Amino acid sequence: MFNDIGPLELVTLIVLAVLVFGPDKLPKLIQDATRTIRKIREFSESAKQDIRQELGPEFKDFEFEDLNPKTFIRKQLDNDELGLKEIRNGFDLKKEMAEVTDAVHGRDSESSAGSAGSSSSSGSSGGGIDMTKKPENPRDDRPPFDADAT
């Protein structure tokens, strides 16, 4: 719970507690705080047990941490009853991105995969577009920058 508190921060908190509450009231305050935390934990555990009993015997291995979406998806991907690994492996992200890029630029997806110099080539090499390179013929449609206008 307090894994990220360092020793210097802990000493500072103790000194502040002694200064604010005083050495006479501090032990009573610590007992009250621990008692309250213990009651909250007991209440949450009993609530979890009640929910498990109400769900029935099919949910004996139900964990509330599974309600976290990341944990749920990770558990389902490890289980793989639905064949999600096949779907994930069959999806070619580079090809999909190349098709979207071609559609945005108004090019035919087969002709853009051809030679890099001409955009009207009809041959297809089957390769993808390198998204890290800048286009060879950049179009500069932006108006010139006017420093006085800003």
Domain assignment present for 78: yes
d(CA 26, CA 18): 7
State the pTM of this model.
Answer: 0.40
Query: Is residue 36 classed exposed, middle or buried when 0-12, 13-18 and 19+ CB atoms within 10 A define those classes?
Result: exposed
What are residue 122's phi and psi, to 5 degrees? -100, -5
If one compares 99 and 43, the residue with the highest pLDDT of the two is 43
DSSP class of residue 57 equals G
Are residues 43 and 89 both part of a single domain?
no
Question: In this predicted model, what pLDDT tens digit does every residue of 10-29 receive, in sequence order?
Answer: 899 989 988 998 889 989 99
Domain assignment present for 142: no
Are residues 53 and 96 both part of a single domain?
no
Are residues 77 and 106 both part of a single domain?
yes
Q: What is the pLDDT of residue 82?
A: 59
Domain count within the chain:
2
Domain assignment present for 136: no
Question: In this predicted model, what pLDDT tens digit does every residue of 117-131 receive, in sequence order?
Answer: 444 444 444 455 666
Domain span at residue 7 reads: 1-62
Are residues 52 and 70 both part of a single domain?
no
Are residues 30 and 9 both part of a single domain?
yes
